[in-house]
């Protein structure tokens, strides 16, 4: 059984991955800590295509990752200053392209695009994700 004392090397507000350290928030910054802890994330699946969007409440800003067959195609960060991005790619005969738009009144993410699968053809995608 592992005790909490065995993880004393892990500093508050940091993440560790493969020997690399990343600051998640500064313990001296309560606003940044709240944004990291209370971040709202949603995932939407369209067959083999997944859109994961995380809202930073201090922004508002949205971090979006798009995967196809479990492989990350791309990430983009949306804010009121940079409200849209387009992500696309192809893996094993599957093709996808999405246009992502952040709106602030009301706060929502519009997802429009197309997903094509071998032998099944193409499907148009449209959804609006409220935050």
State the pLDDT confidence band at 72, using cuts at 50, 70 and 90. Answer: very high
The beta strand positions in the chain, using DSSP E, are 14-17, 20-23, 40-46, 49-56, 61-68, 71-79, 84-91, 94-104, 107-117, 121-130
pLDDT at 18 over 70: yes
Strand partners, 86: 99
Q: What is the pTM of this model?
A: 0.73
Where exactly are the structural domains of the chain?
Answer: 39-130
């Amino acid at each position: 059984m592992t005790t909490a004392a065995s993880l004393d090397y892990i500093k508050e507000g940091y993440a560790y991955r493969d020997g690399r350290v990343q600051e998640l928030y500064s313990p001296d910054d309560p606003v940044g800590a709240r944004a990291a802890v209370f971040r709202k994330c949603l995932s939407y699946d369209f067959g083999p295509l997944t859109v994961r969007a995380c809202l930073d409440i201090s922004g508002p800003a949205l971090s979006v990752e798009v995967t196809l067959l479990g492989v990350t195609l791309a990430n983009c960060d949306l804010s009121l200053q940079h409200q849209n991005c387009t992500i696309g790619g192809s893996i094993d005969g599957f093709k996808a392209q999405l246009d992502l738009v952040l709106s602030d009144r009301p706060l929502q993410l519009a997802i429009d695009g197309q997903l094509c699968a071998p032998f099944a053809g193409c499907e148009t995608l449209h959804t609006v994700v409220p935050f």
